[in-house]
Amino acid sequence: MAVLSRNSTHPVLNATRARQGRLGRHVFWVLLVSTALAAMALFGAWTWQADDLASTEVNNAKQPADAQAFDMGAPAPATQQTSPTPAP
């Protein structure tokens, strides 16, 4: 509960009480409407790009060239050297 100070008429709250958020129906509606708007924006972006997300031909066409470029840039693996087996 708020306590009135001696020198002023406004209520003085302790730090913990002052940091608490307000609860109520308006907070619930703000949360509900903002969540619904975020869901609609996500769904709208997904449907806007659905054809591009379902398409795989574009990536498959570039795959052989990308694989060759990768092989050209990497050095050939060194042969594994083994120590000679000792004579009996």
Each residue of 18-62: pLDDT tens digit? 777 777 888 899 999 999 999 999 999 988 888 877 766 555 555
Q: Is 6 domain-assigned?
A: no
Q: Is 40 domain-assigned?
A: yes
Q: Is 18 domain-assigned?
A: no
Domain count, the chain: 1
Q: Is 59 domain-assigned?
A: no
Please say whether the dihedral angle defined by the alpha carbons of residues 23, 26, 30 and 33, taken in this order, is positive or negative.
positive
Q: Is 77 domain-assigned?
A: no
**Pair 45, 37: CB distance under 8 Å:** no
Q: Is 14 domain-assigned?
A: no
Q: Is 28 domain-assigned?
A: yes
Q: Is 73 domain-assigned?
A: no
Q: What is the pLDDT of residue 42?
A: 95
Q: What is the pLDDT of residue 80?
A: 75
Q: What is the pTM of this model?
A: 0.41
User: What residues make up the domain containing 30?
Assistant: 24-53
* Residue 11 region by backbone torsions, left for phi larger than 0, else alpha for psi between -120 and 50, else beta: beta
